[in-house]
Amino acid sequence: MSRLTHTDEAGAARMVDVSAKDESVREAVARGRVVMRAETLALISQNKAEKGDVLAAARLAGIMAAKRTAELIPLCHPLPLSAVAVELALGDEAVEITATVRTTGRTGVEMEALTAVSIAALTIYDMVKAVDRGMRIEAVRVVRKSGGKSGDFAQD
Amino acid sequence: MSRLTHTDEAGAARMVDVSAKDESVREAVARGRVVMRAETLALISQNKAEKGDVLAAARLAGIMAAKRTAELIPLCHPLPLSAVAVELALGDEAVEITATVRTTGRTGVEMEALTAVSIAALTIYDMVKAVDRGMRIEAVRVVRKSGGKSGDFAQD
Amino acid sequence: MSRLTHTDEAGAARMVDVSAKDESVREAVARGRVVMRAETLALISQNKAEKGDVLAAARLAGIMAAKRTAELIPLCHPLPLSAVAVELALGDEAVEITATVRTTGRTGVEMEALTAVSIAALTIYDMVKAVDRGMRIEAVRVVRKSGGKSGDFAQD
Amino acid sequence: MSRLTHTDEAGAARMVDVSAKDESVREAVARGRVVMRAETLALISQNKAEKGDVLAAARLAGIMAAKRTAELIPLCHPLPLSAVAVELALGDEAVEITATVRTTGRTGVEMEALTAVSIAALTIYDMVKAVDRGMRIEAVRVVRKSGGKSGDFAQD
Amino acid sequence: MSRLTHTDEAGAARMVDVSAKDESVREAVARGRVVMRAETLALISQNKAEKGDVLAAARLAGIMAAKRTAELIPLCHPLPLSAVAVELALGDEAVEITATVRTTGRTGVEMEALTAVSIAALTIYDMVKAVDRGMRIEAVRVVRKSGGKSGDFAQD
Amino acid sequence: MSRLTHTDEAGAARMVDVSAKDESVREAVARGRVVMRAETLALISQNKAEKGDVLAAARLAGIMAAKRTAELIPLCHPLPLSAVAVELALGDEAVEITATVRTTGRTGVEMEALTAVSIAALTIYDMVKAVDRGMRIEAVRVVRKSGGKSGDFAQD
């Protein structure tokens, strides 16, 4: 098992020091999906959900949440995001969510991309939960990361 | 497909009016998991993650996020939560997260429980991502709901 | 000039005590408009603004801001809003904004309705400012208020 | 009508990418006014409003709101503001508000200046609404902007 | 040593369940002081601090912070505050701060009163730190509490 | 008494302009303590407080609050913090709190360090207040500061 060099011996939480890192352009892409019944997907595609336009709301909620990641995740560094996009696609059994986040900063933006996906997913859930109680949020993960010293990364 | 009686004809988003509903005790339980490598789970159980005590941080982040649900999810009603608990269990391939939320209010607290699970999951992710880039957040869903007019509900 | 009975002699700011007031259903409606060029209105109605769907974003931003009024306006009381709606209409020279807010609480919701209108207006401004630098937000005011002891109120 | 080069074909909202822009000093000045009865203005100038010192509260609320612009306006970029000032002047029929915001960043600060003006105006409204129900917020606009590639700009 | 009946055996943090408690009027008064040099106090009393009106800013910052207590203190319950007042007095060697908070709710408001005192103290510190680096915040404590089942309480 | 060169003649509050300052690495260390009964300290060291793990919660709450300093303290500049650590030590009559904050920015981070100490102290207070009503937060002060033009500084 990897031994972490910066570990506080007592295991106390702290924000890792990034002041020695260089500022560089960093990007992360995260994905996830909200699995639901076909009828619920139809409701969304026809924009007939009780609370209104589901996809527009999810997109905006995801973007806004990305900007507040450092408030929500205790040890995240605040970062000046230079771009956030949330894309939504209706599949056969799920709404597929992709979030892309970019910054020029001293640490990466995976958490921002994952937070955008998670809050977009919760917003979709909220807007159609009155008609579908069995929804599940699945497969929230980072699919691509670039910039920074730890090297680029990609997975499905 | 169910026709939603309160649908704004144009599909515009709005916060559903709950002023005619009675205040009652309402509870929701949500669950989810962060799937990761066995080595990463071992790191957490030995409290050796670089950023510190993973489970304590995830628990608190989940509780704090539940209180901010109405800020994050655009059409959620602000609710005076009377109790929030986040439980974490280390399984064979995942950290299992359970959040329980209670209120005395005019609408349910599923979204608060789901938000607690999601942010607890993201916090776990953040704290061990330096050693495991393949983690996934899976199966975030409501497992129990009680109180309110729509009746009780339970699923796995 | 009306002498205010509860005035702190020294003029120091404080949140007025509402603990002796009864909880009742209270509603307020506020209005305002963003005056702009006809070409900019056309851009919005065709959903061609650079930043995307202007009306959906303004609606959601207004609703979300209403919920945060007590954070923004120093002496506002936090209130559990039971409904918020933001309606937008394209006129000849302006986007007309109407916000309706309802609560069951100890004080009125004019400030919440006005905040919803103001932030919806700023969101519209933000989304089309790249093509129209001369926009103005005008006539933000309360047009109707009901509930509470001070009596109902209406104006244009 | 100007065709916007970066438009998402489907009109979906997103935060415009500013990562290729240079950091530079940027400034914006916005203005607006709260129109009210002469008696209400006298109350403010004598610091006799029920909720206390109106001008000090409005100034601070405006400054604090400028710092939270990116939380309120969905597609605004978070920016490290280097200066914010809110000036208030009592006219014959209105409190005149001027906000000046400066940053060293990759995008302008009009929205921050407009947000400062709007929240300062709402704070004034809140503090004297008990004696004047007919107030209106008028003429909220950018009067000067400098820095950045789009060139300087000034209007009344 | 008192054994706490509701203790989670494993010591995990959680928000104590208050749903069985009755709503009642509850009040708390907290106090504290910012100890500083006589010259610094003179600067404040003459309103000559570089950043402007120190007492007005501290009062408002304290009131606004009281409303956000549940966001800052992880296990605090969100409460609909019905009144907040922050009083400041210039002593011989310190600014004395008193905060009074009232709610009609299911749990007490000591934390809200203490938060108001602490943030008011920090605001004073911030506004005069350019001329006095030796300031200290001292004696932040609850001096009175009433309402609720645990009985009234008072101390110096 | 020092005459402050940048004073607004009328004493109106404003955020001091730092745009002409250089970005540099800046660090501040603040300290404070929560004085309590020996029995209460024992409760904390044995992790038997009703609300759970006191030290982990205080550490995280302090770190999270440091990131929100500019929201709480009206005239603070928002800063991209590069590191925050909160250390807690159990003394004979108090929990001793030390917060260290680092940034690469245009202004210092004393307020962030002091805010971390204050909110960590309030969190400790909150978690054990059920068994000790006489606690006091004492001696919150800056003990070291480095970086920036005003020179380094240290005190006890």
Lowest mean pLDDT among B6-20, B105-119, B135-149, F115-129: B6-20
- On whether the CB atoms of residues E87 and E101 are closer than 8 A, the answer is no
**Would you call F61 and B60 a contact, using CB atoms and an 8 Å cutoff?**
yes
Under the banding of pLDDT at 50, 70 and 90, the label for residue D150 is: confident
- On whether the CB atoms of residues A127 and A54 are closer than 8 A, the answer is yes
Any chain B CB within 8 A of the CB of A154?
no
Strand blocks (E) in D36-135:
81-90, 94-105
**Would you call C63 and B13 a contact, using CB atoms and an 8 Å cutoff?**
yes
C79: Cα separation from own chain's centroid: 15
**Beta strand C81-90 pairing with B153-154:** unpaired
Question: Quick one: pLDDT at residue B57?
Answer: 95
Any chain C CB within 8 A of the CB of B74?
yes
DSSP 3-state of A48: coil
C-alpha A58/C-alpha D149 separation (Å) is: 32
Q: Which residue of C has its CA nearest to B72?
A: C64
Question: Quick one: pLDDT at residue A51?
Answer: 76
pLDDT tens by residue, D100-140: 999 998 999 999 999 999 999 999 999 999 999 999 999 99
E77: Cα separation from own chain's centroid: 16
Distance from CA of B96 to the nearest CA of E (A): 15
Measure CB to CB from residue E53 to each of D52, D56, D64 and give the nearest one: D56
Interface of F with E in 90-129 (CB under 8 A): 110-111, 114-115, 118-119, 121-123, 125-127, 129
**Bridge partners, residue A88, by sequence:** A97
Lowest mean pLDDT among C22-31, D7-16, F127-136, F141-150: D7-16
C-alpha A53/C-alpha A131 separation (Å) is: 15
The answer to whether the annotation marks D90 as part of a ligand binding site is no
Under the banding of pLDDT at 50, 70 and 90, the label for residue C2 is: very low
C-alpha D129/C-alpha D117 separation (Å) is: 18
D95 HSE (CA, 13 A, CB side): 31
- On whether the CB atoms of residues B131 and A2 are closer than 8 A, the answer is yes
Under the banding of pLDDT at 50, 70 and 90, the label for residue B3 is: very low
Question: Quick one: pLDDT at residue F136?
Answer: 98
- On whether the CB atoms of residues C121 and C34 are closer than 8 A, the answer is yes
Low-confidence residues of chain E: pLDDT under 70: 1-10
Least Cα distance to E56 among C16, C77, F12, D50 occurs for F12
**Would you call F83 and A13 a contact, using CB atoms and an 8 Å cutoff?**
no
Question: Quick one: pLDDT at residue C156?
Answer: 87
**Would you call D80 and F18 a contact, using CB atoms and an 8 Å cutoff?**
no
**Bridge partners, residue A32, by sequence:** A97
- D73-87: average pLDDT: 95
Lowest mean pLDDT among C117-131, C137-151, D129-143: C137-151
Any chain C CB within 8 A of the CB of A56?
yes
Q: Does C9 have pLDDT greater than 70?
A: no
- E126, E132, E152, E156: the catalytic one is E126
Q: Does D70 have pLDDT greater than 90?
A: yes
D91: Cα separation from own chain's centroid: 19
Greater model confidence, C24 or F119? F119
C-alpha B96/C-alpha B101 separation (Å) is: 17
Sign of CA dihedral A58, A64, A67, A70: negative
Catalytic residues of F: 126
pLDDT tens by residue, D31-54: 999 999 999 999 999 887 777 789
Q: C touches which chains (3+ CB pairs under 8 A)?
A: A, B, D, E
Q: Which residue of F has its CA nearest to D84?
A: F15
Any chain B CB within 8 A of the CB of E68?
no
Instruction: For residue E46, give Cα distances in angstroms to E41, E90, E124, F9, F101.
Output: 9, 11, 14, 11, 33
Beta-carbon pairs below 8 A across chains B and F: 15
Sequence-ordered list of residues with C-beta below 8 angstroms from that of F55, at least 6 positions apart, any chain = A12, F44, F88, F95
Question: Quick one: pLDDT at residue F156?
Answer: 86
- On whether the CB atoms of residues C59 and B13 are closer than 8 A, the answer is yes
pLDDT tens by residue, B37-49: 999 999 999 887 7
Least Cα distance to F71 among C68, C9, E85 occurs for C68
pLDDT tens by residue, B89-118: 999 999 999 999 999 989 999 999 999 999
Question: Quick one: pLDDT at residue D8?
Answer: 57
Interface of E with F in 8-47 (CB under 8 A): 8, 11-16, 32, 39, 42-43, 47
A67, A114, A143, best to mutate vs chain B, most B CBs in 10 Å: A114
Query: Residues in chain E, how many?
Result: 156
C-alpha A9/C-alpha A2 separation (Å) is: 15
pLDDT tens by residue, E83-117: 999 999 999 999 999 999 999 989 999 999 999 99
C-alpha E47/C-alpha E93 separation (Å) is: 17
- D63-74: average pLDDT: 98
Structure tokens given for C15: 């949140």
Contacts with B60 from chain A: Cβ below 8 Å: 74
Question: Quick one: pLDDT at residue F8?
Answer: 57
- Give the 3-state DSSP-derived string for chain F, with helices as H, strands as E and coil as C: CCCCCCCCCCCCCCECCCCCCCCEEEEEEEEEEEECCHHHHHHHHCCCCCCCCHHHHHHHHHHHHHHCHHHHCCCCCCCCEEEEEEEEEECCCEEEEEEEEEEEECCCCHHHHHHHHHHHHHHHHHHHCCCCCCCEEEEEEEEEEECCCCCCEECC
pLDDT tens by residue, A50-76: 777 899 999 999 999 999 999 999 999
Total-model pTM: 0.95
Structure tokens given for F43: 């409760």
- In terms of Cβ atoms closer than 10 Å to its own Cβ (0-12, 13-18, 19+), residue D96 is middle
Any chain A CB within 8 A of the CB of F56?
yes
Contacts with B119 from chain A: Cβ below 8 Å: 72-73, 118
| Alpha helices per DSSP H over chain C | 38-45, 54-67, 69-72, 110-128
- On whether the CB atoms of residues C109 and C67 are closer than 8 A, the answer is no
CB count within 10 Å of CB F8 equals 18
φ, ψ of residue F73 to 5 degrees: the values are -100, 115
The answer to whether the annotation marks E76 as part of a ligand binding site is yes
Greater model confidence, E48 or C147? C147
DSSP for B67-112, written as a single string: HTHHHHSTTPPP--EEEEEEEEEE-SSEEEEEEEEEEEESS--HHH
- pLDDT by residue for chain F (156 residues), tens only, comes to 333 333 455 678 889 999 888 889 999 999 999 999 999 999 999 887 777 789 999 999 999 999 999 999 999 999 999 999 999 999 999 999 999 999 998 999 999 999 999 999 999 999 999 999 999 999 999 999 998 877 788 998
Sequence-ordered list of residues with C-beta below 8 angstroms from that of B26, at least 6 positions apart, any chain = B102, B103, B104, B105, B107, B108, B109, B145, B146, B147, B148
**Would you call D60 and F17 a contact, using CB atoms and an 8 Å cutoff?**
no
C-alpha D118/C-alpha D124 separation (Å) is: 10
Measure CB to CB from residue A67 to each of D17, D19, D78 and give the nearest one: D78
C-alpha F142/C-alpha F137 separation (Å) is: 15
**Would you call C71 and E63 a contact, using CB atoms and an 8 Å cutoff?**
no
Question: Quick one: pLDDT at residue A8?
Answer: 57
Question: Quick one: pLDDT at residue D3?
Answer: 35
Under the banding of pLDDT at 50, 70 and 90, the label for residue A10 is: low
- D6-21: average pLDDT: 76
A81: Cα separation from own chain's centroid: 14
